[in-house]
Amino acid sequence: MLFAHENGRVIPKEDKIFAINGRAKAMIAEEGKENVINATIGALLDDNGDLTVLSSVMKALGTLEPVDFAEYAPIGGTPEFKAAVEKALFGSKRPEGEVRVCATPGGTGAIRSVIANYSEPGDKVLTHDWYWANYKNIAGELGRGFETFAFFNEEGTFNADDFEKVLAEVAGQQDSIVVIINTPAHNPTGYTLTDDDWRRAIGAMNDVAEKCRITLFIDVAYIDFAGDEEKARSFMPLLTGLSENVLTVFGYSASKTLTLYGMRCGALVCLAKDEEAAEEFRQVAEFSARATWSNCTRAAQVVMGKIYADPQLEAEVDAERETIRDMLLERGKAFEAALAEEGVQSVPFDAGFFASIASDDPDAVSAELEKEGIFTVPLAKGVRVSVASISKEKCVKAAKAIARVVKG
């Protein structure tokens, strides 16, 4: 007997990434972790395959009182959390505009909320053709359609022309549109939009915004692993040049910044041109929160608040994070170089947790690699390798195997 309604969604028997990860774990149990490369995990692991946790963050967590764990947080988040997110997100690059913060369970919750509130059922959400597969699930769960533009041109840089073209097409079909751009340190490729890329993207949005209001959702989940903090935020002041018909909303992942993935601590942050749009944001984001997950994990909010209210602690956390960020970058660059040595181009990698290789048949490539004990994630346009979860040595080994499989 079956009871559920698909409601237009495509529901797989199992989540693909988690299923592959399950098979990787089974093989590790059987053949030992030195013989398996599990490049599926979106969390930072050290070279031994153990989770990297910032000890300075854990120290802060250790100072919490029982009530910090037990008490409900306000729907939108504690005031200290909101202030911390604003500080952490913008750094020294806060653009002009009205800012409001609403706590969400991780980045996923933030994406869910922006789509639920700024599009209508049946609308298409627009993003790049290299995308985190869950974007499509989230849109589908909400009865929204999905459209993509080509993220890269033939030079391997941001394809502003295709963005312009597809945006104009979709904008011609609906009254409003949610545009999702994942940068810096894009998941799944590691690409970071340059300031010039941003100027082109902003121009394209301003061109259509008079006829079709735009909500620009910038997914900055990996911003604190994207190299120098200032440089990673250099695009922010450019957003001031957006038309008043564009509302900017950021998805920020405190879980990632603090390596507290399991505490589900993210935020949706609006940067509005006026108070009316900002207050509307607060109302709808809080309503959706209340009617979907209610409030978010208080303990993580308290930790976030403590860190960003204490310059010494903040500096300690930043310094510790810098070490892992450098490790990440070294792994990614080694992966890219090893591929190049074999005559295969990876999709451009600047920084972050992931690198990718283009393929016409990602499922076949991923399956072939699995036979050799290399677990990757097949996406629409290629195969994703989490450099965050494997050592530099394994990055090189994986790159060589991938080159062999891709070249056939």
Residues 160-189 within binding reach of its own copies (CB under 8 A): 176
Using CA atoms, how far apart are residues 256 and 42, in angstroms rounded to an integer? Answer: 10
Could you say which residues in the range 240-269 bind its own copies, by CB under 8 A?
244-245, 247, 259-264
Report DSSP letters for 253-286, one per residue. Answer: EHHHHTT-GGG--EEEEEEESSHHHHHHHHHHHH
Nearer to its own copies among residue 4 and residue 407 (C-beta): 4
Residue of the chain from 79, 121, 156, 172 that contacts its own copies (CB under 8 A)? 121
What residues pair up with 246 in beta bridges, in sequence order? 214
Using CA atoms, how far apart are residues 49 and 245, in angstroms rounded to an integer? Answer: 47
* Binding segment toward its own copies, per CB under 8 A, in 188-196, 217-225, 272-280, 348-356: 272-280
- What track of x and - describes contact with its own copies for positions 9 through 28 (by CB under 8 A)? x-xxxxx--x----------
Chain centroid to CA 1: 38
Residue of the chain from 27, 75, 168, 238 that contacts its own copies (CB under 8 A)? 75
Using CA atoms, how far apart are residues 363 and 254, in angstroms rounded to an integer? Answer: 32
Please report whether residue 376 would count as binding its own copies according to CB under 8 A: no
User: In whole angstroms, how close is the CB of 368 to its own copies at the nearest point?
Assistant: 26
- What track of x and - describes contact with its own copies for positions 216 through 235 (by CB under 8 A)? --------------------
User: In whole angstroms, how close is the CB of 82 to its own copies at the nearest point?
Assistant: 15
User: In whole angstroms, how close is the CB of 41 to its own copies at the nearest point?
Assistant: 8
Closest to 241 (Cα-Cα) out of 207, 192, 269: 207
Residue partners of 378: CB distance under 8 A and separation at least 6: 16, 362, 363, 365, 366, 384
Please report whether residue 116 would count as binding its own copies according to CB under 8 A: yes
Residue 229: half-sphere exposure toward Cβ, Cα within 13 Å: 15
Please report whether residue 127 would count as binding its own copies according to CB under 8 A: no
Nearer to its own copies among residue 70 and residue 408 (C-beta): 70
Using CA atoms, how far apart are residues 233 and 98, in angstroms rounded to an integer? Answer: 18
Nearer to its own copies among residue 104 and residue 359 (C-beta): 104
Residue of the chain from 77, 109, 188, 305 that contacts its own copies (CB under 8 A)? 109
- Phi and psi for 345 in degrees, rounded to 5? -90, 130
Nearer to its own copies among residue 183 and residue 215 (C-beta): 215
Using CA atoms, how far apart are residues 11 and 14, in angstroms rounded to an integer? Answer: 8
Name the token pair of 189: 């490729």
Please report whether residue 60 would count as binding its own copies according to CB under 8 A: no
* Binding segment toward its own copies, per CB under 8 A, in 30-38, 155-163, 296-304, 342-350: 296-304
* Binding segment toward its own copies, per CB under 8 A, in 156-164, 189-197, 293-301, 385-393: 293-301
Residue of the chain from 71, 195, 326, 341 that contacts its own copies (CB under 8 A)? 71
Using CA atoms, how far apart are residues 267 and 284, in angstroms rounded to an integer? Answer: 14
User: In whole angstroms, how close is the CB of 92 to its own copies at the nearest point?
Assistant: 27
Using CA atoms, how far apart are residues 131 and 180, in angstroms rounded to an integer? Answer: 9
User: In whole angstroms, how close is the CB of 337 to its own copies at the nearest point?
Assistant: 30
Could you say which residues in the range 191-220 bind its own copies, by CB under 8 A?
213, 215
Residue 254: CB atoms within 10 Å:
29
Using CA atoms, how far apart are residues 110 and 249, in angstroms rounded to an integer? Answer: 9
Contact 227, 329 (CB under 8 A): yes
Return the DSSP state at 105.
S
Residue of the chain from 61, 170, 267, 396 that contacts its own copies (CB under 8 A)? 61
Please report whether residue 100 would count as binding its own copies according to CB under 8 A: no
Please report whether residue 96 would count as binding its own copies according to CB under 8 A: no
Using CA atoms, how far apart are residues 218 and 268, in angstroms rounded to an integer? Answer: 10
